[in-house]
Chain A
Amino acid sequence: MLKRTPLFAAHQRLGARLVEFGGWEMPVQYSSIMDEHLAVRRAAGLFDISHMGEVNITGATALEFLNRTLTNDLRKIPPGYGQYTLMCNEQGGVIDDLYAYRLGNEDFLLVINASRIEPDVAWLKKQLDAFPKRGAVNLEDVSEKYGAVALQGPRAVEFVDQCFPMIAKNRIAVLRATELKKNQVDRFEFEERVVYVARTGYTGEDGFEVIAPAASIEAVWNRIMAEGHAHCLQPAGLGARDTLRTEACYPLYGHELDEQTTPIEAGLGFFVAFDKPDFVGREVLANQKSQGLSKKCVAFKMTDKSAPPRPHYPIWSTGSEATRIGEVVSGTQSPTLGIGIGLGYVPPTFGKPGTGVEIEIRGKRSPALVVQKPFYRKPN
């Protein structure tokens, strides 16, 4: 039996097409992927991300525990900010990629992938058991208690303050949602409950993510839909979420990331803090950084008129002695660029932008070009 988010009835009323995703029955699209994708690039889109998991970690040694368990350095952010980070095994393989929000000096909320809730919580508990100062850490899986939505697109700023006009009594810093800077988070009052509004997202556009008690999330969704109506807001499904994140070159667990792939190979070394005390996976990651990699995640675009690349298509080198050099992990027709784009793993010698490669599509090879990431960057 697939799990459903508290917004399932809302999706049905909107005529969403529903699909299975990571054990959840989720909307893939309402109108069309192309239409919703362009709405997010030009105006605004609203996504249900209630399937994502949340873990609350508190206590006097919570920061120290998380800094041993995650790759980025949480000492770098004050309360009221979030940080993209990764959780690795001892071999440096990625257990999950996540956002860690610092809600107070000793209060953290991890937002994790829907398909990874069980392995993440099991891994966190295992790490906590091995942590000498575990007595001062409390860990709670609160995934069932929260729902979440993502309001994304350049016009979101026009109406987000109307959606959340009340600051919470225990606010951290800001007075209005539009005051939030990138990666900043704060508490707002919504129908007598506290919700979190963060300036984060997964589309490459400006936008906000709202985490609210499960019982409030449908009212949050309805409020945003109503306030956004005059600003060309559209509901957007997982189909557009995937094409938007692919254009922005954001990784998706199970595609760019898995337990056999490291953050360094994935091109996420920026989120691995080697200038902090020891953390799980450090040794392998440091060796990869100093001694080089056997594979690397690259972005490529199709150069001839060809079918779009798809996950698992083979990547070949070019020329008379062409060999199979890797595999596509994400691929789609780019709604913004109108060409086939993809991400794949190849030996680093093929990783330089401008390198020609070939993508095997149904037994035929089509030319592609390795390009700089990302494919799309929002205009300033």
Chain B
Amino acid sequence: MSSNVPANLKYAKSHEWVRAEGEIATVGITDHAQHELTDIVFVELPAVGRKVKAGEACAVVESVKTASDIYSPVSGEITEANQAIVDNPALVNTDPYGSGWFYKIKLANVGEVASLLKSEQYLAQIG
């Protein structure tokens, strides 16, 4: 099963992606992750204003069978949570890099993004 891994994003080993624009980054879960989780039926997102550290569990996705923690790939303060995936969790399955994004975060350290995996490194991990 080949997964879509866009070249313009950065990745965490725990299967989240990051799109950084200045000091704001958008975070979601990868196509590989949504495929492994299968039908997502519920999403719990961090509250706006919450401060999270890289590697901290800050969201939950539930498939029919199990609940899984989602770990923030970067540190900072949550500025926006995607209500659309709360209302329609299937968006995470159908459009993981687009309308299925999880939250936006004001980066505590912009340099942290550079230490994440490049697309080819993430591809090698899930290969």
Contact = CB atoms under 8 A, between A and B. Distances in A.
Interface in A1-33: 28-29, 32-33
B38 A333 contact: no
A333 B64 contact: yes
A305 B42 CA distance: 9
B94 to A, nearest CB: 13
B39 A32 contact: yes
Contact of B39 (A28, A33, A306, A310): A33
A362 interface: yes
B38 A33 contact: yes
Interface in B23-52: 38-39, 41-42, 44
Interface centre among B44, B60, B62, B64 (most CB of A within 10 A): B64
Q: How large is the interface on B (under 10, 10 to 19, 20 to 34, 35 or more residues)?
A: 10 to 19
Nearest to A307: B42
B64 A307 contact: no
A313 B42 CA distance: 17
Contacts of A34: 38-39, 64
Contacts of B54: none
Chain B at the A interface: SS class: strand
A8 B41 CA distance: 30
Nearest to B65: A239
B84 interface: no
B90 to A, nearest CB: 10
A307 B42 CA distance: 6
A310 to B, nearest CB: 7
B42 A308 contact: yes
Contacts of B42: 306-308, 333
A147 interface: no
Given A32-B38, A333-B42, A243 B64 contact: yes
A334 to B, nearest CB: 9
Contact of B65 (A28, A306, A307): A28
B126 interface: no
Contacts of B64: 32-34, 37, 239, 243, 308, 332-333, 335
A307 B39 contact: no
A243 B63 CA distance: 12
A33 B60 CA distance: 19
A303 to B, nearest CB: 15
B38 A29 contact: yes
A162 B119 CA distance: 51
Nearest to B41: A333
A15 to B, nearest CB: 8
Interface in A103-157: none
B82 to A, nearest CB: 15
Contacts of B63: 33
Q: Which of A28, A32, A362 has the most CB of B within 10 A?
A: A32
Contacts of A333: 41-42, 62, 64
A338 to B, nearest CB: 8
Nearest to B39: A34
Nearest to B89: A333
Nearest to A334: B64
Nearest to A339: B41
A308 B38 CA distance: 15
Interface string A22-56: 00000011001111010000000000000000000
Given A333-B62, A362-B60, A310 B67 contact: yes
A308 to B, nearest CB: 6
Task: Identify the interface centre among B41, B42, B63, B65: most chain A CB within 10 Å of its CB.
Answer: B65
B18 to A, nearest CB: 25
A213 to B, nearest CB: 33
Interface string B67-106: 1000000000000000000000000000000000000000
**Residue from A34, A239, A243 having most chain B Cβ neighbours under 10 A:** A34
Interface of B: 38-39, 41-42, 44, 60, 62-67
11 contacts: A32-B38, A32-B39, A33-B64, A37-B64, A239-B64, A243-B64, A307-B67, A310-B66, A333-B41, A333-B42, A333-B62
Given A34-B39, A307-B42, 7 more contacts: A28-B65, A33-B38, A242-B65, A307-B67, A308-B42, A332-B65, A333-B41
